Amino acid sequence: MRDTTCRRKPRRISPVLYWRCSDHFLKGCLMLRLVLLLLGVDYLRDRWRGLRIIGWIWAVAGVVIFVDALDNALYFPISFFAYFLLAEGIATLAVAWTGVAGQRILRHIKGVAFIIAALLILAGHHHGNFILSMIFGTLFLADGLLQSISATVVRYPRWRLALAGGVVECAIAIFFYQPYPTHYVGTVPYCIGLGLAFGGWQMLLLAYRVRRLSAKATVESLLQRAEASSAQQYAGAAAKNTLREWDGPPAADEKALTVHVWTPVGSSRTPAQRLPIIDRYIAAVDSDGVISTGHAALETPEGVYISLYPGVEIDRSPDQFGRLLRATPDNDVAGVFQPDYPTESRAWCESTVKVRIRNYSAERLSAFWENYRQDNTYNLTYRNCSSSVARALEAALEGAAGRIRGRSWSAFVRLLLTPELWVAAQIRKRAKTMAWTPGLALDYARAMSMLADPRPFGWLKMARLALRTMSRSRRAWRQEHAMARQPMADSEEKITS
């Protein structure tokens, strides 16, 4: 069956599963990887001793907090932590309106979640702790099952390690579900302890690898324990940027990297049957029964255009679909790189959504592209259009935060306090343990754009707005006062005359 969406672009299936898994499962470690990617290898070289110290502190503190929670005598300041969450949640909601587009929704979600968690902790006793335990247990169980199933079905490299990680997550879920040993009192310290311990352990590994880092290594090679390819070497210096913030996306005439996404629904030739989540991240079926799976591509003003497409039509029967999902060499087909966006859009249709990013390294992306284009292999779950865009985006944004914020610790803290970092980390994990699809690539590009092109903090933005309002009010009062005094001055002048 051929995909006849728009102008009969050959069919492409973007599945739910992907070839490899990350070697950790706590979001603190996931966020740490993105922080180091965005700060760049130069930052790591300058700060590896500090990272080692922080890693030891986090790891020891995590173990101590977890062990402390194993009995009913808690020394962890749980009430203080709850009030901190409550204050953070209220503050986030107070400045949520200062965000743009998806930022507002994300900040509202974060604020509400923090407030609910704080209230449950402060409620204490059995009910609050029980509800928190059930929530955390369910999250771990769902993630563990999803990762285990994807690893078993796809059989990507290191799938056994991914399966073991999923089993560990399920075991942690069971630990949260059952009341032993503290009858749910230690739920919050357990989570904090685990997060700090695994985050510290990951940071220690990175710090010790940085000490042996060569001058031509990249963050990606450091994190993945792989040799850096010649295309990804850090030889080219990135363009220098001054300390800046942008309160909105790039203008139409502004130089920027562009991620093009054809969503399954948006690229359907006729109105699609709405299936929540499925038609956003997997595929859409229109009224004629035609499957539309979408597409993703990346374009820069320097002429780089990355759009991988299968050279032959992929059309397998349903009974073979399970085998097709496996990231094995027998499912590799010859791929084709599209020449440029005008050519592809004319042959198909205009992209549904465009995400534009100012702060990127054209040199690093060009080096990545020169190496990546040497292999035109297309694999449904290992090397597809969306995974190509995601890898290229990470190559282009490596060190983006360091170029803007410099190599100070404030850049590290600023990234950790940005909500989009958590979102990007979760999307990246979902894609790495399942599959990169156009929907995930779109969400990832949006989150990374907020990190690469930093927006002002909500409190700073609100303070600036308040100062501007006060300044305008002062000027208005002075004008009103001057106008009020003018008739009095005229009257006095008449009386004097």
Please report the pLDDT score of residue 340 as a whole number.
Answer: 93
Please report the pLDDT score of residue 479 as a whole number.
Answer: 78
A 10 A CB-CB count for 427 gives 23
Every domain of the chain and the residues it spans: 27-224, 236-405+433-452, 458-497
DSSP 141-158: HHHHHHHHHHHHHH--TT
The CA distance from 450 to 102, in Å, is 10
Residuewise pLDDT in 10s, the chain (497 residues): 334 344 433 333 333 222 233 333 334 456 777 887 888 877 877 888 888 899 999 999 999 888 888 876 667 788 888 888 888 888 778 766 655 555 677 777 888 888 888 888 888 666 788 888 898 899 899 989 988 888 887 777 777 888 888 899 999 999 999 888 778 888 888 888 888 888 888 888 878 877 776 555 556 555 554 333 333 333 333 344 444 667 677 878 889 999 999 988 877 676 777 777 777 777 777 777 666 778 999 999 999 999 998 887 765 445 555 666 666 677 778 889 999 999 999 988 899 999 999 999 999 999 999 999 999 988 877 788 999 999 999 999 988 888 877 777 877 887 877 878 888 888 888 887 777 889 999 999 998 998 888 776 555 555 555 566 667 777 777 777 777 776 666 666 666 65
Please report the pLDDT score of residue 260 as a whole number.
Answer: 95
DSSP 305-368: EE-EEESS-----GGGHHHHTS-SGGG-EEEEE-S-HHHHHHHS---SEEEEES---HHHHHHH
Torsion, CA 453, CA 459, CA 463, CA 464, rounded to 10: 0
Q: Single out the residue of 259, 226, 293 nearest to residue 446, CA to CA.
A: 259
Phi (first) and psi of residue 204, to 5 degrees: -65, -45
Entry pTM: 0.75
Is residue 495 packed enough to be buried (19+ CB in 10 Å), middle (13-18) or exposed (0-12)? exposed
Please report the pLDDT score of residue 458 as a whole number.
Answer: 52
What letter represents residue 84's amino acid? F
Residue 225 per-residue DSSP state: T
DSSP 200-213: HHHHHHHHHHHHT-
Residues 441 and 386 sit within 8 Å (Cβ to Cβ): yes
The CA distance from 294 to 282, in Å, is 8
Between helix 419-433 and helix 385-397 the angle, nearest 10°, is 140
CA angle (376 as vertex; 375, 380 as ends), nearest 5: 115
Alpha helices (H) in 158-305, listed in sequence order: 159-177, 187-211, 219-224, 278-281
Please report the pLDDT score of residue 168 as a whole number.
Answer: 92
CA angle (114 as vertex; 113, 115 as ends), nearest 5: 95
Q: In what order do the strands lie in the sheet with 377-378?
A: 308-310, 333-337, 377-378
Please report the pLDDT score of residue 297 as a whole number.
Answer: 96
Residues 39 and 403 sit within 8 Å (Cβ to Cβ): no
Query: What residues contact 478, with CB distance under 8 A and at least 6 apart?
Result: none
Residues 121 and 188 sit within 8 Å (Cβ to Cβ): yes
Cα 23 to Cα 149, 160, 197, 198, 370: the distances in Å are 16, 11, 15, 11, 28
Residues 148 and 166 sit within 8 Å (Cβ to Cβ): yes
Cα 273 to Cα 278, 286, 293: the distances in Å are 11, 6, 13
